[in-house]
Amino acid sequence: MEVPFIRTPSETSLEHVEPIAISRTWEDQLHYDIVISGKLFPMGARVPIAFKFTPLAKVNLHRIKVYLTENTQLFANNRQVHKLDNSKKILLLDKKAGQKSTSAYPGSTMRVNAGAGLSYDQRLQLGEMNAGEEPVDDGSTNLLGDLHPDIETGPTEYEFNMQLPICSLNRHKPPSQRMHFDTTYENIEINHWIKIVLRLSKADAHDPSKWRHFEISIDSPFHLVSCLASRSNTALPAYSRPKPKVHVKRMMNDCNCEGALADQLAESDDSTHWNNSGQNSGNDSEPHSPGASAQDNSAANYDSAMRPIHLIRAPSFGPPPFDAITPPPPDMLISPPPDYGSIFQASENPFEDYFARLQIARKEENYEERHRRSSRVDIPLTPNGRINRSMDVPRDWVGVGDEDSMLRPGT
């Protein structure tokens, strides 16, 4: 019987929650912010990524590409013999102006939050993620929209959910396109990088009728782990977790990719299902695995979950909504300060004790100040830093005109 061993990230690892944030300005023409919500994802998951482009001049953004590259190193003979395998590269996202976005694996989605030359209705339709078709302007050549010099243009915001390789589809790929999760072994080391490519163009400084094309390439380390090392298997289940709609019997060595789970949910037996009252009509004796729940990146909980676009927009300089301001309590609930006479009991005047203690404190302060002045030793501004010891050596007063005392030795 084979027992698979899956290497999971440490509980104290910040790769799950630490985002990849990039904020740069390209040649005073375009300012762009790119945020990826994490550095570590299991196979079969979706990687949320947000783009925000703020044009500073008339510039065209023609294409956005996101690649996932895999580098494999093989060692032998006590790491003295080294072989670097050919790097593999798959296309996670390809968004071109005037065309629909494409990906190497099905399941990627997109959303346009602002700009891009789309109307509000089109952005609202696209904001429903999986519902509806992606609106595309066939005649557009700029992802930022029409940058007319007489019209003030704001930023353009894109959100993508890029589908990572799914085990059921990955095993049927040719070896040159088959991806593996990160491995650190004595003889094998596999690591991944994520690469973002932006294709831009701007007018030539000498001839404005001509456009010069450029490409911006951004690389960052990326960790790809096994699909069995997902958060649903490594973390404790939430106490407020709703009951699953479909009960799935799954072995631990089966695939835990989102695509595989969707197939299992579709092909599950009708005898084990959840009715409207929340009671399971099937057999409850079978154990339920946390990985068989609903997809974490589904469109239902997409709006309530933390998205990378929130990291770009925070902090916001706009005023908070009126509902977010907590009103003060009514006057009847505000208790006044206590009466001074109730704290310091006096016979006639409650302030008499206060002024008496204040006078004693001032006397003590004056005494300390006089004592400090009388015992002070001055340090003269003389060479070698010698301290004046005139206060330590006893001296007698010498009268003016007393010649005997002036000639007396020791004075």
Per-residue DSSP letter, 37: S
The pTM is what?
Answer: 0.58
Q: What pLDDT does residue 59 have?
A: 82
Q: Mean pLDDT check: name the lowest of 17-31, 117-131, 243-257.
A: 243-257
- Assigned fold of 20-231+297-322: Immunoglobulin-like (2.60.40)
- From residue 148, give the alpha-carbon distance in Å to each of 13, 191, 279: 47, 44, 59
Assign 215 a pLDDT band (cuts: 50, 70, 90).
confident
Distance CA 100, CA 97 (A): 8
* Strand residue runs (E) in 164-299: 183-184, 188-203, 211-225
pLDDT of residue 15: 65
What number is the average pLDDT over the span 167-174?
A: 76
The predicted structure's pLDDT at residue 124 = 65
Q: Domain residue spans in the chain?
A: 20-231+297-322, 340-374
The three-class DSSP label of residue 187 is coil
Q: What pLDDT, in 10s, does the model give residues 9-39?
A: 777 776 666 778 888 888 888 888 888 888 8
Let me know if 29 is exposed, middle or buried by CB neighbors in 10 A (0-12, 13-18, 19+): middle
| Closest residue by Cα to residue 163 from 299, 50, 43 | 43
Mean predicted confidence (pLDDT) in 204-214: 80
Please state which of the ranges 50-54, 317-321, 373-377, 394-398 shows the lowest mean pLDDT. 373-377
- The pLDDT tens digits of the residues spanning 278-325 come to 334 444 434 343 333 434 444 444 444 567 766 666 655 667 667 766
